[in-house]
Amino acid sequence: MRLEPAQTATQIAELIGAHVKGDANRLVTGLNEINRVEAGDLVYVDHEKYYTKALNSAATTILINKDVEVPKGKAILISEDPCLDYNKLVRYFNPLVGWPETTAEVGTGSEVHPTVVVGANVKIGAGCRIMPGVVLYENTTIGDRVIIHANTVIGADPFYFKKRPTGYDKMIPCGSVVIEDDVEIGALCTIDRGVSADTRIGQGTKMDNHVQVGHDTRIGTNCLICGHVAIAGAVVIEDGVTLWGQVGIPSKVTIGKNAVILGQSGIMSSVEGGKSYLGSPAKETKQMLREIALTGRLPELFKKLNG
């Protein structure tokens, strides 16, 4: 989320009662979570396992729960509860908005069914068709010539929580969804907004019914995604990828350009582009088919070994 106007590290610290070290005049131009940070951003970290990653990231202001050495040119804000304070900042700079009575900004020639529910600051491009029952949460951007079929929900909150002894604290989102030109999205799909950046569906990509796309995932151009595919948060799917039915993809992996993932496969780690994969855990298709064939011969081989 961009901050306009930018705030100094000192100003941010005053809002949450944190202690500043390092460059107190460092300008904070945005709030972001660790997977999408860039220069000028503030990121929070509250677990020793991730201290080094956050301190060495592109973020130039770090909200942290430990007094540590400040990286050159950066600022740190020391807080007893960085997650809670980060949520306070999100709500301060991005207050809750209701569902406005006014319609979205709609481009020439677009058809939006009367039952479509539209949040604040939604933009719909030219030549689109938005079918009955679609829900477009706040800050969603739809490109030109996009088709969204019935009862799809775009921009719902990320499935992102911090576990505490008392239960789970919700991570308050301030991100968005961007659907680029010439995308078609099937019925009953769900595309979650980014935590603090955007979830993005690339130009020309086609999605079947019942597809789930998690927060901050970036899907490239001209991908083909079949029914019941589930994609977790912070995934990168490069251009031209095909995901057949019921494929599952966990968070923070990359699917390489023009890869093909066959039906019901489970990806456990990043995979190279230009290849076909099968199984759970998925392997290259030729290797998996050989293993399946050999598995089928196990009773015969066992019988021979035991005479």
Q: Which of 52, 87, 51 is nearest to 168 (CA)?
A: 87
**CB count in 10 Å sphere of residue 57:** 21
Average pLDDT over residues 62-80: 95
Instruction: Please give the domain boundaries of the chain with CATH numbers for all domains.
Output: 2-93 (3.40.1390.10), 105-290 (2.160.10.10)
User: Residue 256: what pLDDT?
Assistant: 98
How many residues make up the chain in this entry? 307
Considering the chain, what percentage of its residues have pLDDT values greater than 90? 90
User: Residue 292: what pLDDT?
Assistant: 85
Say how far apart CA 190 and CA 258 lie, in whole Å: 24
- Enumerate residues 6+ apart whose C-beta is below 8 A from 156: 135, 137, 190, 191, 192, 193
User: Residue 297: what pLDDT?
Assistant: 81
Cα separations in angstroms, 274 against 18, 238, 255, 307: 49, 11, 10, 45
Q: Is 7 helix (H, G, I), strand (E, B) or coil?
A: strand
Does residue 278 surpass a pLDDT of 90? yes
User: Residue 264: what pLDDT?
Assistant: 96
Say how far apart CA 164 and CA 247 lie, in whole Å: 31
| N-to-C CA span, the chain | 69
Average pLDDT over residues 105-117: 96
User: Residue 63: what pLDDT?
Assistant: 97
Burial 67-76 (b: 16+ CB within 10 A, else e): ebeebeebbb
Orientation angle between helical segments 285-296 and 298-305, nearest 10 degrees: 50
Does residue 301 surpass a pLDDT of 90? no
Exactly one of 19, 113, 149, 215 is catalytic; name it.
215
Say how far apart CA 51 and CA 177 lie, in whole Å: 29
19 a catalytic residue: no
User: Residue 104: what pLDDT?
Assistant: 85
Say how far apart CA 148 and CA 179 lie, in whole Å: 10
What's this model's pTM, rounded to 2 decimal places? 0.92
Please give the mean pLDDT across all residues of the chain.
95
> How many Å separate Cα 144 from the centre of its chain?
22
Would you place residue 307 in the very low, low, confident or very high pLDDT band (cuts 50, 70, 90)? low
Between β-strands 230-231 and 248-249, what pairing exists: parallel, antiparallel or unpaired? parallel
Average pLDDT over residues 116-142: 97
Would you place residue 102 in the very low, low, confident or very high pLDDT band (cuts 50, 70, 90)? confident
Say how far apart CA 240 and CA 296 lie, in whole Å: 34
Does residue 201 surpass a pLDDT of 70? yes
Would you place residue 296 in the very low, low, confident or very high pLDDT band (cuts 50, 70, 90)? confident
Q: Is 133 helix (H, G, I), strand (E, B) or coil?
A: coil
Considering the chain, what percentage of its residues have pLDDT values greater than 70? 100
